[in-house]
Structure 1
Amino acid sequence: MIATLFALLVTPALAADVGFEAVKMADGEGPPLTAGIWYPTNAAATPHALGSFSQTVAPGALIAGHRLPLVVISHGGGGWYGGHYDMALALAHAGFVAAAVSHNGDTFDDQSHVLELWRRPAQLHRLVDYMLDEWHGHGRIDAARVGAFGFSNGGFTVLVAAGGTPDLSKITPYCEAHPEHDLCKDLKQAGVDPRFGANVPDSVWVHDPRIKAVVAAAPAFGFAFGSAGLSSVHVPSQLWRAADDRHQPDPYYDEAVRASLPQPPEYHVVAHAGHYDFLPPCDARLSRKMPEICNSLPDFDRAAFHEQFNAAVVQFFQATLNSNR
């Protein structure tokens, strides 16, 4: 009986639909950050375009519920805030507020700061600030229940936010040993010395103790952490690996993170999945435009996987953020 009452207190009532808005946030002396925000609403939702996708939302609708948990989302390299819209919708349908930031300097239309990896956790920290203090619905959010999801570069980002400190000097020996791996070939093609991060001080990595649980899918630069670099990550974590990830080959990324976390993560290995299968299914037009991101192996059903993936992420945050009450 007590457990049932506790569950009723910490689990928000589900709303009928999802509200949505895009916002601009000041970011110090830099350009404003853009974010998308999904949240529960009782207003009627209808289909609306979101980049190359369509989502069923009620733009600008009133928020339903109180003491709502928050999940912030960090996209992969060259992405944008809408890159995981289907997960954001699933979270909002389950009673969460989901907020995703476009990381200035590492988006599809701006790669000017892609190697300044320390900018990403700082921008995610700014998003949490905005959502808890400045967003018009901040009074509806439970500041004690904040989680973070990230894919690829975003997975790296949320691990740092949760307390991780990478050592980018490890990129040089990694590329000396594995010059055929995508990261190393890309650096060489771009004329970038792999020693670019050799002198990055630990002080640049922004951690956010408000984040109480993290989900990392195919985290980039996993080999750069090690046990020492992840020793301060004590929040519950869920880790996802694509079994056929040829962009970030095993065991140097996800497995390196799994082996180094001080608390074993909830670990999922997705059979037949490639790196970009963590992104939502593409329509025919986007598939023709970006086949390297959109095309899956013939025996992999990306749409079916995303139903399972999103449900598992929602369940993880429901369990871990509720337990932090």
Structure 2
Amino acid sequence: MTHLRLALAAAFCLAMSPAQAAGLKFLHIPVGQDDPAIDAAMWSPCTEVPEDVQIRALTIPAVPDCPIAGEKLPLVIISHGYGGWYLGHHDTAEALADSGFVVVAINHPYANYADMSRANGLGVLAARPVDIKRTIDFMLTDFPDSAKIDPQRIGFYGFSQGGYTGLVLAGANPDFSKLPRRCADPKAVGCPQANRARPPQQPPLPQTLTHDPRIRAMVVADPLSIVFQTTDSVKAVTIPLQLWGSELGGGGGASPENVATLARVLPEKPDFRIVPNAVHLSFLTMCPKTDLSSEACIDAPGFDRAAFHREFNAEVVAFFRRNLGK
């Protein structure tokens, strides 16, 4: 649940063949009856030669607005962490698109790097799963190329609070009373937001949270898991799940101990991977050499984020191929 504003500087160019690239298109999911608009980025299979696309501080290899190559393709939705944005995991999205997936990453409204006006407290934790459900609804109905997507093959990837979001969607019911009320060191990573996210006297009942059985397989990395520490809280999570944890942690509510307990109490044994010498933010995409001092760019001494992401992306692609089909 770590602050990711500085993820703006993250950049990673995934190696790919000259004749293949991820198509990139920006989407706008309109305002609903009681819901805000959602901005999103979509990557899709593309047969054209990539070019360097400049987005803020990022240089991304992609083909803007490339026609989607293929039919009945699997769909993966990406949910960012606290203060993140839809390009914070773009290398993973590119790897999936190159492998035949349509990938959509969203900016959670009022809880992303550009607008944190409602990022703290329980309201955003209840709204996040709704945001993902609305995104899936849009991609299957109102998206102009919805016929290109197979509604029976939907996956999800989430990091930090995004991992929490996925677990709720998969059927988990969090115990919000376990959220940290205070941190001993107010300057430590994750403490300011944890201290502002104190649960009220009467947290929302689990049955008010949104689950979505259309999601058939899920990858979560260093999820906010302190709220999922009992077998009862995750007893309904039975879809194939790949769970990643950082050895060194650093995210409030996503300590290595919390993540390990989550792995143990899940009813179906997850594909659990612990990344040696990784910190919480090591799951973010690479940073340019010009901004390596940003919080989002600092890894433990000796950790090679680029090498890790090559392995991580390959494993994520392989997991979704196994569980959603080629």
| TM-score, scaled to structure 2 | 0.87
SS in structure 2 at match of 1:282 = coil
Q: Distance in 1 between matches of 2:305 and 2:201?
A: 35
More helix by share: 1
Distance 1:318 1:261 in 2: 22
**Alignment counterpart, residue 58 of structure 2, candidates 53, 68, 73:** 53
Name the structure 1 match of 2:325.
Answer: 322
Unaligned runs of 5+ residues in structure 1 are 1-14
CA shift for structure 1 position 189: 5.4
Q: Give how far 1:43 is off.
A: 2.2
User: Partner of 1:135 in structure 2?
Assistant: 143
Residue 7 of structure 1 is matched in structure 2 by none
The Cα of 1:305 is off from its aligned counterpart by: 0.4
CA shift for structure 1 position 322: 1.9
Alpha carbons of 1:97 and 1:183: their partners in 2 closer, same or farther (altered >3 Å)? same
In the TM superposition, what whole-angstrom CA distance separates every residue of 1:170-218 from its partner, at most 9, and x where no partner exists? 22xx547x7459588325754x5x2337421123210111000111100
RMSD over equivalenced CA pairs, Å: 2.1
The superposition leaves residues 80-104 of structure 1 with CA deviations (integer Å, 9 ceiling, x where unpaired) of 1111100000000000000011001
CA distance in 2, matches of 1:40, 1:197: 48
Does structure 1 retain, via aligned residues, the 8 Å contact 2:246–2:256? no
Partner deviation per Cα, 1:100-149 (whole Å, 9 max, x = no partner): 11001210121122222111000011111111111122111111000000
Q: Give the one of 6, 23, 28 matched to 1:24.
A: 28
Partner of residue 96 from structure 1, selected from 98, 101, 123: 101
- Whether the 8 Å CA contact 1:168–1:198 is kept in 2: the answer is no
Aligned partner of 2:87 among 63, 82, 89: 82
State which of 119, 124, 128 in structure 1 corresponds to 2:127.
Answer: 119
- 2: CA distance between counterparts of 1:184 and 1:279? 16
Q: Which of 301, 305, 308 in structure 1 is aligned with 2:304?
A: 301
| Cα pair 1:223 1:256 within 8 Å, conserved | no
Tell me by how many angstroms 1:30 deviates. 3.5
Does the 8 Å contact 2:189/2:250 carry over to 1?
no
**1:23·1:36 contact (CA, 8 Å) conserved in 2?**
yes
User: What is the CA–CA distance in structure 2 between the aligned matches of 1:156 and 1:227, rounded to whole Å?
Assistant: 16
Range moving further from structure 2, 115-124 or 278-287: 278-287
Alignment of 1:147-226 (within 5 A): 147-171=155-179, 175=181, 179=184, 185-187=191-193, 190=196, 194-196=198-200, 198-226=202-230
After superposition, the Cα gap between the structure-2 partners of 1:312 and 1:170, relative to the gap in structure 1 and judged at 3 Å, is same
Give 1:205's aligned amino acid.
L
1:50 and 1:82 in contact (8 A); partners too:
no
Which among 314, 318, 322 is matched to residue 311 of structure 1? 314
Structure 1 range deviating more: 256-265 or 219-228:
219-228
Equivalent residues of 1:276, 1:294 under 8 A apart? yes
Q: Where do 5+ consecutive residues of structure 2 fail to align?
A: 1-18
Cα contact 1:156–1:222 (8 A) shared by 2: no
Higher relative contact order (Cα pairs below 8 Å, separated by 6+ residues): 2
Work out which of the two has the higher radius of gyration on C-alpha atoms and give 1 or 2.
1
- Distance of 1:298 and 1:279 partners within structure 2: 17
Q: Is the 8 A contact 2:178 2:227 kept in 1?
A: yes
SS at match of 1:30: coil
2:272 aligned residue: 267
Q: 1:222 Cα shift?
A: 3.3
Which stretch shows the higher mean deviation, 28-37 or 302-311?
28-37
Q: Distance in 2 between matches of 1:307 and 1:136?
A: 32
Q: Percent identity?
A: 34
| Residue 197 to residue 17, structure 1, CA distance change in 2 (3 Å) | farther
How many correspondences in the alignment?
A: 301
Match of 1:146, SS state, is: strand
Aligned counterparts of 2:225 and 2:272: Cα–Cα separation in 1: 18
Aligned residue among 241, 247, 257 for 1:251:
257
